[in-house]
Amino acid sequence: MKPTGTGDLADGRAGDTRRLTLLGQRIVVTRGQDQARQLSQPLAGRGAEVLEVPVIKIVPPSQKEPLVEAIAGLNGYDWLIFTSVNGVASFFEYFFKAFEDLRDLGGARLAAVGPSTAAQLGQLHLKVDLMPKEYVAAQIANALASFMSIENLRVLLLRAEAATPELPRLLEDMGAIVDDVACYKTVPETEDRNGAAARMLAGGADWVTFTSGSTVQNFHARFDLPKLARQFPGLRLATLGPETTKALAAVGLKPAVEANPHTIEGLVRALERAGGMRGA
């Protein structure tokens, strides 16, 4: 079947069957519409039929004042911690409304969770001082503790609204003074712009991929994930990492694969390995 919503094979090598490791697999991508292509494209390039069913979208935080105040006081922070690509993009959207020069970022060190977040900072020619080996937000606290004492240091945590309180609590337990500031929030996406959701409900899929806890929660709220799994017994679930897997556990389900490393590339490789063990 021809991949839907992704155009030609990603690397222009349509017809190179040596690389079609996911041929015949129907894979649902639940990321927000603006970011779905980062996963859809390599999956389609490996022969998968991709159904883009975004269940989240990124919008400004409910209250912008804390972020605006934090940006105005950046010189007072010792560390800026980013936990996602969305956090970087949203923060700098507001930053460049206030300042024209990156030097106004001040002298704070930068920490990032995962190579994708670090790469997003790198696009701004900003070097990350610290990244945990395991790409899980809570691990940033352990990495900081190994790097230096953060007692009485001021830390600005830049992430999604209503994110888990575990990370700021761990940092405060180490003596840090933490400002946990929302740069954005995720809200449910319920529109089926391309008909992919209808096709999934009618014919099921081989895989549903989840890249965050919010994609699990919103997908479940919209489609009743356990019910969908019962309706299509061949359906398998794939997660980006432990935090996403925890969200699945909350609705009584387990993933067939969890990406390791916890990156989009790692997720694609995990699907390739699992897909190769199962016939089309």
The boundaries of the domain holding residue 113 are 59-185
Share of the chain above pLDDT 70, in %: 92
Is pLDDT above 80 for 137? Answer: no
Mean pLDDT of 217-238: 97
Whichever domain contains 22, its CATH number is 3.40.50.10090
Is pLDDT above 60 for 14? Answer: no
pLDDT, greater one: 278 or 188: 188
Instruction: Report how far residue 111's alpha carbon sits from residue 123's, in angstroms, rounded to the nearest whole number.
Output: 15
Q: Is residue 6 part of a domain?
A: no
- For residue 159, the cross-strand partners are 182
Which of 60, 84, 6, 2 minimizes the C-alpha distance to 38?
A: 6
Is pLDDT above 70 for 138? Answer: yes
Is pLDDT above 70 for 117? Answer: yes
Which of 207, 216, 225 minimizes the C-alpha distance to 55?
A: 216
Instruction: Report how far residue 85's alpha carbon sits from residue 136's, in angstroms, rounded to the nearest whole number.
Output: 13
Q: How many structural domains comprise the chain?
A: 2
Which of 91, 171, 150 minimizes the C-alpha distance to 126?
A: 91
Are 22 and 70 found together in one domain? no
Are 173 and 267 found together in one domain? no
Are 177 and 216 found together in one domain? no
DSSP state at residue 181 = E
C-beta neighbour count of 280 within 10 angstroms: 11
Are 34 and 105 found together in one domain? no
Q: State the pTM of this model.
A: 0.82
Q: What is residue 107's predicted lDDT score, i.e. its pLDDT?
A: 92
Question: At 25, phi and psi to the nearest 5?
Answer: -90, 130
Is pLDDT above 50 for 2? Answer: no
Q: What is residue 4's predicted lDDT score, i.e. its pLDDT?
A: 45
Are 120 and 203 found together in one domain? no
Are 85 and 120 found together in one domain? yes
